[in-house]
Structure 1
Amino acid sequence: MTTKGFVVSHAADAKFERGLRSFYEYRDLGIRQATESRVAAHVIRSAAGKEFSSQPHFHKTEFQLVYVLKGWIDFEYEGQGVVRLEVGSCVHQPPGIRHRELGHSEDIEMLEIVLPAGFATEQVDTVNAPV
């Protein structure tokens, strides 16, 4: 039996920081360190007083899941069109799918799980541009 990689994250210890998008705050759940950067898991919420702006982009991932904990968020996905996610909605974003956020509620809060933890993000001209 091993305890290597065991981690517990409590709400009382929650610390949100700025991350990939300036209009969001991210709460690291300790999974990146526990898995030696194989997986990242964090809670994302809107950052008060920050103006929203999103350009079409894609992530170089092996796996990406978003689960909405609070509020709503609208995305536009390549080949899928506009998708609204609300409380309890879950989306698997396939590796390399082009997308952009169109808007979100002020109280948006999401759980995101991504492999690998150190994934790259690339901007593109349009969501529906040929792959």
Structure 2
Amino acid sequence: MDGQIAVKAMQGFLHKQHEATSREMGVKEVLYLSSDADLSTDESRPNIFESTNHYEFKKGQPQFDIFTQEESPALFNGNMVTYGEAVGHLVEDNYLGKFFGGADIRMDVPGAQTITLDMSGTFRLKLAAS
């Protein structure tokens, strides 16, 4: 990771139940990497941070359905691949930008379709003096 910026971030969750089932799958801290060596202060030339993660779940393991907002046991083994991208720049002691993310969820069942989730939004990180 020489010459690039690395950011460790705690994964956000919708609420405690979503957090509990996600942590059981191994969702915790996420590493975002940028090929840039310094934080940009130029809005027209922002930094781009990317993260890709892979998680597995087993039949019977608690899972959280974001559509029904309910927990239930997984009916099948499967996996989830997540992708995140944060694009931003520094303004004084704030890092501002946009977030794009997604997930592909696959069940280990013949003929099963991949479930794809996409999300986006804005963020503001207040940087602390070191």
Greater percentage in strand: 2
Question: What TM-score results when the alignment is normalised by the length of structure 1?
Answer: 0.25
Larger radius of gyration: 2
Question: What TM-score results when the alignment is normalised by the length of structure 2?
Answer: 0.25
